Structure 1
Amino acid sequence: FMAFAMAGTFLAGDGLLYYIFWELALIPIYFIALIWGGGNTEERKKAVVKFFIYTFAGSLFMLVAFIYLYQKQYSFFYTTLYNLRLTSTEQNWIFAAFFLAYAIKIPIIPFHTWQANVYQKAPAAGTMLLSGIMLKMAIYSIIRWQLPIAPIPAIQYQYIIVGLCIAGVIYGSVLALKQDSLKKLLAYSSLAHVGLIAAGVYTMTLDGLRGAMLQMIAHGFVVVGLFFASEIISRRFNTDTIREMGGIRIQAPKFTSMFMILVLASVALPGTFNFVGEFEVLYSLAQTNIWLVVIGGTTIILGAFYMLRMFQQVMLGEQNAKVFADINFSEGLVMVLIIGVLLFFGLYPKPIVDFISPELERTLIYIKQI
């Protein structure tokens, strides 16, 4: 049901259908996190209800925007909405309504307060769906719906919006440094990465949009791999606390090697898929303002620091008193497939670049037609 709703969100060309699928995706993830999540039941309920209310409330503003647009042309189809001649004031309100829905879902600070707790409380499958695909619905929607329909405010307030996104990069990285929970560390790491992706989208350049699309796909694979690995560790050690881990390398060399590749991909090591998208996003920020890339580039330094420190604390050191069995065939197969994608497209991203570039160029024509 979750996959059905998310696929519908990405495939819908009709605004009303898109909104229905967008909201449908909330229902299964609510129950996945509520029923099968971990930790204290009351805390889990609070976290999941907060997430539901936040995202549902933000989406209602988007529905109002769609209703208003429908009255202009009596069509919800995206190309019809692109061709509407809206005044600057109308675009401001439409942009704000869409931005609220997407900023909560991504999330962009200060709309992020639901994220870390839900990521921690949700089961592994729920966290993978949230971080790997669900937040990409919002970034994709900025390109598909928000920017082509309301480009004027996106240009007028570009520095403010990109500034918020980059603030999320630094904020997420700093918080990740302070975490003792493996899942929370990965949640704040995800917040930092998606902040940079959103900043790339709002540069409204071909490099920014293409880099964001590539980084969305790459981040989807690497974050699912990291949460999958964290679930393996948590189940073996029966804890999510980093300080209670360590010494895994001695007992599980195969798992350690695979986890190391995922960590290096996460920090955008050249040769991995994440490097391709992150480089293009940073290049687009440099085209907009050199200071944006200087500040945004701190994600590479901070990311390398907290991810490698986490690897050291979790995987290295003396053998832990708890027994850690090396990965079995099914776990290894999942890890190898994810790593294979990250390395293949890191060395040869051309198939995806050729596939997405023509549509992004067409979208940019609508964004620049003011």
Structure 2
Amino acid sequence: MNVSFILILLLFGAIATYFAGDQLAKKVALVFSLASVAGSIYIFNQHMAGIDTNFRENWISNPNLFIALKVDGLSVAMLLLTTALTSIILFSSFGNQYNNSKNFYALVMFMSFAMVGTFLSADAFLYYIFWELSLIPIYFIALLWGNGDAEERKKAIIKFFIYTLAGSLFMLVAFIYLFQKAGSLLIGDLYAIHLSGQEQFWIFLALFLAYAIKIPIVPFHSWQANTYQKAPAAGTMLLSGIMLKMGLYSVIRWQLPIAPVAAKMYMDVFIGLSVAGVIYGSVVALKQKNIKKLLAYSSLAHVGLIAAGAYTLTLDGLRGAVLQMIAHGFVVVGLFFAAEVIERRFNTQEISEMGGIRIQDNKFASMFMIVMLASVALPSTFNFIGEFTLLYSLYNANIWFAILAGTTIILGAVYMLKMFQHVMLGEAGAKVFKAVTTQETIVFVVIIAVLLFFGLYPKPINDLITPALQEIVTKINRQ
């Protein structure tokens, strides 16, 4: 079995979900999603055993384009993250009722298909198609099933759509230029192009605009908080847990190896922008009164740190970035799910209208606390491994970068503990918090198990991603 089977499975799952009807849609989607997890684990085992599961077929002869899928440690890690989180997100949504649920769950499955395609593509044109395809389902998920006033939601979602689409056009122009130089868009051929310093600068900048908006990096972040707030819980988890990783992954896979000279020349500038996002996101999070907006700005701070580590151009920086991408994916899904659990019972996102939950449901408070502590990188959690590695790489690049980026730990602890105090502690108010259901508990237990297991034993992921990242670092240092 080659890796194309996963894409076929997800696409067929989206179609089957739609035709299953509203009553069965969520169950069919979950079955296909879990099947994709099993397939991803199989691909992982094949890869670790040294068995080739790549896929490559000539698609169009003139111009010379391929359906090419690349399987290495980096793409397998993102494949596992995407399929696992998709299953968790689908299962977490079972507590909600959606109009036209067959459309909702089919769009979630189709979005997973597009994101997996983005992570696996080894031809830039195919990669661009999957990149754009992933935007369509989340646009409709957020617009049709989102929260709040319909007009405000529409404005927020259209702004998100325009921002990301505009950034993608810069990437498309860069790929067209590279095709003129190489006669192919296969990633190996693009890596082999010898570009002048000026050419690399413009290619690097074009790709940066696309990725900085998707991640997002300050000052290209203005779409994020409102979109996260207005999207339904599942949409917010898809955006924060997986979709933003497309930008971070693409920095490592496409931007740095294609334009390494420009990356080295302007390294301090892009690390500086990323660190600015860490500080900005943390400071703004301190002032938030809406729990989803607070988590959105917290996410902005954490992905800023990931981007900063990637732009150090070192093996430690890239490894820390990938470790933290995976850890952040699970923890941010856990945090947004906790916010959704509270909103289901209190019908509000305002922190001032919460409180006293621990008295009414100590189990939920305990599970929420563990995920929250993982978010602030408590030792023995997965996030600690990623953040420590990232800060170490920044320290080796410039000690001031490490000091400034380290504010994400201090300020993160302040706003997360403050939020926990207002939401969970104190006297119970007039609103009754019903005990978490078995389904909700399973979601939290799975997330917590991942965060603690890999916090104590990150070796399997390290062994998986390091060879692929070493190849990228070698390519960067070759020029």
TM-score category of the 2 structures, normalised to the smaller one: over 0.9
2:418 alignment counterpart: 309
> Which of 61, 71, 77 matches 2:170?
61
Q: What's the counterpart of residue 212 of structure 1?
A: 321
Aligned: 1:137 with 2:246: yes
Q: Secondary structure, in 3 states, of the residue corresponding to 1:226?
A: helix
| Residue of structure 2 equivalent to 1:197 | 306
CA distance in 2, matches of 1:238, 1:49: 25
Q: Counterparts of 1:181 and 1:139 in 2: how far apart (Å)?
A: 27
Give 1:179 deviation, angstroms. Answer: 0.4
Output the amino acid matched with 2:462. Answer: V
Report the AA paired with residue 332 of structure 2: V
Q: Which residue of 1 aligns with 2:55?
A: none
Pick the aligned partner of 2:463 from 348, 351, 354. 354
Once residues 304 and 419 of structure 2 are traced to their aligned partners in structure 1, the CA distance between those partners, rounded to angstroms, is 21
Aligned to 2:352: 243
**Which of 280, 286, 294 is 1:177 aligned to?**
286
Does residue 1:88 correspond to 2:197, yes or no? yes
1:76 aligns with 2:185: yes
Match of 2:383 among 274, 294, 308: 274
Task: Establish whether residue 103 from structure 1 lines up as the match of residue 103 from structure 2.
Answer: no
Following the alignment from structure 1 to structure 2, what is the Cα–Cα distance between the partners of residues 253 and 294?
37
1:333 is matched with which residue?
Answer: 442
Rounded Cα–Cα distance in structure 2 between residues aligned with 1:297 and 1:73: 42
| 1:196 aligned partner, one-letter code | L
**2:122 match:** 13
Distance 1:320 1:7 in 2: 44
Higher relative contact order (CA 8 A, sep 6+): 1
Separation in structure 2 between the aligned mates of residue 14 and residue 324 of structure 1, nearest angstrom = 50
CA distance in 2, matches of 1:205, 1:111: 25
Q: Secondary structure at the match of 2:342?
A: helix
* Structure 1 residues not aligned, in runs of 5+: none
Give the distance between the partners of 1:152 and 1:37, measured in 2 at CA: 43
1:109-188 to 2 correspondences below 5 Å: 109-188=218-297
> Which residue of structure 1 aligns with residue 403 of structure 2?
294
How many Å separate the matches in 2 of 1:59 and 1:368?
Answer: 27
Task: Letter of the 2:203 partner, please give it.
Answer: I
* Counterpart AA for 2:322: M
- 1:161-207 CA deviation, whole Å, 9 max, x = no partner? 10110000010001100000000000000000000000000000000
- Residue among 17, 28, 31 paired with 2:137: 28
Partner SS for 1:276 = helix
Is 1:258 aligned to 2:367, yes or no? yes
Offset of residue 260 of structure 1: 0.2
Give % identity.
Answer: 71
- Displacement of 1:320 in angstroms is 1.7
* TM-score (norm: length of structure 2): 0.77
Q: C-alpha separation between the residues in 1 aligned to 2:226 and 2:408?
A: 22
- Runs of 4+ in structure 1 off by over 4 angstroms are none
Distance 2:133 2:370 in 1: 35
Give the match's secondary structure for 1:17.
helix
Q: What is the identity, as a one-letter code, of the residue corresponding to 2:160?
A: F
For 1:163, the aligned partner's letter is G
RMSD: 0.5
Counterpart in 1 of 2:103? none
C-alpha separation between the residues in 1 aligned to 2:401 and 2:126? 36
Distance 2:266 2:202 in 1: 13
User: Which secondary structure does the structure 2 equivalent of 1:246 belong to?
Assistant: coil
1: distance between equivalents of 2:148 and 2:205?
36
Q: How far apart are 1:321 and its partner, in Å?
A: 1.1
Distance in 2, Cα, partners of 1:92 & 1:294: 28
Unaligned segments of structure 2, at least 5 residues: 1-109
SS at match of 2:432: coil
Give 1:228 shift. Answer: 0.4
CA distance in 1: counterparts of 2:253 and 2:128, whole angstroms? 13
The one-letter code of the counterpart of 2:142 is: A
Residues 145-169 of structure 1, C-alpha deviations (whole Å, 9 max, x = no match): 0000001111111111101100000
One-letter amino acid matched to 1:171: Y
Residue from 393, 404, 409 that aligns with 1:284: 393
2:450 partner letter: V
Q: Deviations over 1:57-114 (max 9, x none)?
A: 0100100111111111211111110010001111011001000000000110110000
**Which is worse superposed, 244-253 or 67-76?**
67-76
The separation in 1 between residues aligned to 2:474 and 2:192, in whole angstroms, is 11
Q: Structure 1 length normalisation: TM-score?
A: 1.00
- CA distance in 1 between counterparts of 2:458 and 2:267 reads 29
Shift of 1:261: 0.0
